[in-house]
Amino acid sequence: IFCLNSLSNILESSSSNVARQTLLDLRLRHEIEGNTTTENISALVWLARWTVSQTDSYRDALMMGNFGDKAPGNQHQSRDLEKHEEEYLVTAGNGFILLACLMRSDATSDQGKDVLTRENDITTQIRNTLLAEIPSINGNSAQSFMIKTLKAFCNFYHYSVGDLSVAIVTPVLKLINHLQSLETEISVID
């Protein structure tokens, strides 16, 4: 979790373009499950798959629940997380925070046309790579999966820490808003 937080903090810095490009280009040797061979895969692909795997035991409840939704009347049955699942939620939440930071572009036109174009290209490549690895579940988009996980993460922090959670929850809510606008932007393009 510390490494995920450190990478997220690096991406928040003003010179995150180099870090984002490095993560985009980084390749890892990955052991194929149930096999003795390895493959080279993108670090972003590995990170997205690993983060999603942290939701395995509670993913259905997460997607059927109304974590953080303000709309009343959700008729789906919900359940509380089991004790061992709370740790996975915190890990997945931190992973999705990093992925959401990677998907965000802070490029502005005052940086110059070349820098803006390069930043937008990197952002598009990162988004396409990550969204291809994050599942769409029960008709919900990959962004919706990320949003629901992050809302559950925020609710867990607020429930566990109380008012002190504002230091964590407030920036995550900004990322959720970004993901919601990205989801709208992508649905308009489709």
Residue range 16-46, pLDDT digits in tens:
778 888 889 999 987 877 777 788 999 999 9
Task: Place 166 in a pLDDT band, splitting at 50, 70 and 90.
Answer: confident
- CA atoms of 98 and 47, how far apart (whole Å): 9
Task: Place 68 in a pLDDT band, splitting at 50, 70 and 90.
Answer: very low
Least confident range from 12-16, 113-117, 124-128: namely 12-16
pLDDT for the residue numbered 55: 94
Tokens of 143: 């962004």
Dihedrals φ, ψ of 138, to 5°?
Answer: 50, 40
The DSSP string of the chain is -HHHHHHHHHHHSTTHHHHHHHHHH-EEEEEPTTSS-EEEEEHHHHHHHHHHHTTTTTHHHHHHS-TT---S---S---PPPHHHHHHHHHHHHHHHHHHHHH-----GGG-HHHHHHHHHHHHHHHHHHHHHSPPBTTB-HHHHHHHHHHHHHHHHHHHHGGGGHHHHHHHHHHHHHHHHHHHHHHHH-
